[in-house]
């Protein structure tokens, strides 16, 4: 694994010594270069929670992936650059049934710099673009929306503003975790019939003040508005158009044949299908 090759992957020629400005630039370049996607599941590829394997997939083969892949790679990069990142576990709020997922549902990181702790998350659907201060009540507008942190006891809540309403994205504690702690949930996300990643073939990439998402037989373009909210447009795709679209819009060429999928999601506790909207999916795809 080579750090310079990673920097080229995220469109950086070099990286300054650890500082807040350097971390912001690195975080922003990563989310603008590496997508969140479930394409491995739908093209016959097993996902392995192993840093050399993840490096090969994302850097050498120029792919995206799950939160634990994206943030796992970013964790290694930060260590190589001299930061001291810590891994946290989050539970994503299901936007339909309003129930949080199990522990290790989502991985995120923290870094301490300049006397403050910062959240780093390069693997969440509609997440922040630059590191976010780990401070209760902190509210900040970034290119991808308006975010804030709330805290109750030992649980922290990341929220995103939609028009005039605050919506919880996920909750987490500050207990430090290890990458190996996420192996079971990584397996669940790629095998369970209740997993959105299994039910939907998708690929989503942050752009400056916008987001581009392939899902099933659709291409969804999202433009973020000042003060919260967004405007979305959808284009229907034929199966023949999808490989070229993934190559031209996301820089992704799959080694196996993709089977497009956009099915109803089975909620485990109710054993019934629920149709997720595009907005729900973009929030849930962590």
Distance CA 97, CA 264 (A): 14
The alpha-helical segments, DSSP class H, found in the chain are: 3-9, 20-33, 51-55, 67-80, 183-191, 196-199, 242-250, 278-284
Active site residue 67: yes
Specify the length of the chain in residues: 286
Catalytically annotated residue among 42, 106, 203, 285: 106
Active site residue 106: yes
Catalytically annotated residue among 27, 42, 67, 189: 67
Residue 74, helix vs strand vs coil:
helix
Q: Please give the radius of gyration of the chain, using alpha carbons only, rounded to the nearest integer.
A: 18
C-alpha 7: how far from chain center: 19
Q: What is the pLDDT of residue 190?
A: 95
Between strands 132-133 and 202-207, the pairing is: unpaired
Q: What is the pLDDT of residue 255?
A: 93
Per-residue pLDDT tens digits of the chain, which is 286 residues long: 999 999 999 999 998 999 999 999 999 999 999 999 999 999 999 999 999 999 999 999 999 999 999 999 999 999 999 999 999 999 999 877 788 989 999 999 999 998 999 999 999 988 999 999 999 999 999 999 999 999 999 999 999 998 889 999 999 999 999 999 999 999 999 999 888 899 999 999 999 999 999 999 999 999 998 888 889 999 999 999 999 999 999 999 999 999 999 987 666 554 333 334 333 444 444 4
Contact 137, 130 (CB under 8 A): no
For residue range 83-95, what is the model confidence (pLDDT) as tens digits? 999 999 999 998 7
Identify the structural domains of the chain with CATH numbers, from first to last. Answer: 1-286 (3.30.2140.20)
Backbone angles phi, psi at 61, to 5 degrees: -95, 0
Residue 93, C-beta contacts closer than 8 angstroms, at least 6 positions apart = 99, 100, 101, 168, 169, 170, 171
Place of tokens 């710099």: 113
Active site residue 181: no
Distance CA 150, CA 156 (A): 6
Distance CA 6, CA 17 (A): 16
**pTM score of the predicted model:** 0.91
């Amino acid at each position: 694994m080579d750090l310079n090759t990673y920097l080229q992957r995220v469109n950086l020629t070099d990286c300054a010594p650890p500082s807040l400005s350097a971390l912001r630039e690195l975080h922003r370049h990563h989310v603008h270069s590496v997508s969140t996607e479930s394409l491995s599941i739908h093209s016959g590829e097993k996902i392995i929670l192993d840093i050399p394997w993840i490096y090969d997939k994302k850097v050498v083969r120029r792919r995206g992936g799950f939160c634990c892949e994206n943030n796992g790679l970013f964790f290694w990069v930060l260590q190589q650059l001299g930061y001291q990142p810590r891994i946290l576990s989050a539970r994503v709020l299901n936007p339909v049934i309003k129930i949080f997922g199990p522990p290790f549902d989502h991985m995120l990181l923290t870094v301490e710099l300049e006397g403050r702790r910062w959240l780093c998350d390069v693997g969440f659907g509609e997440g922040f673009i630059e590191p976010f201060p780990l401070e209760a009540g902190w509210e900040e507008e970034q290119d991808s929306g308006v975010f804030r942190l709330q805290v109750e006891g030992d649980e922290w809540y990341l929220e995103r503003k939609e028009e005039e309403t605050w919506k919880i994205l996920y909750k987490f504690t500050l207990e430090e975790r290890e990458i190996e702690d996420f192996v079971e949930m990584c397996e669940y996300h790629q095998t369970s019939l209740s997993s959105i990643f299994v039910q939907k073939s998708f690929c989503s990439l942050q752009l400056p003040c916008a987001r581009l998402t392939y899902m099933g037989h659709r291409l969804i373009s999202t433009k973020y508005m000042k003060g919260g909210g967004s405007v979305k447009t959808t284009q229907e795709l034929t199966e023949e158009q999808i490989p070229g679209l993934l190559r031209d819009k996301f820089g992704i060429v799959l080694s196996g044949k993709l089977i497009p999928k956009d099915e109803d999601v089975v909620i485990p506790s109710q054993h019934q299908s629920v149709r997720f909207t595009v907005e729900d999916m973009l929030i849930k795809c962590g």
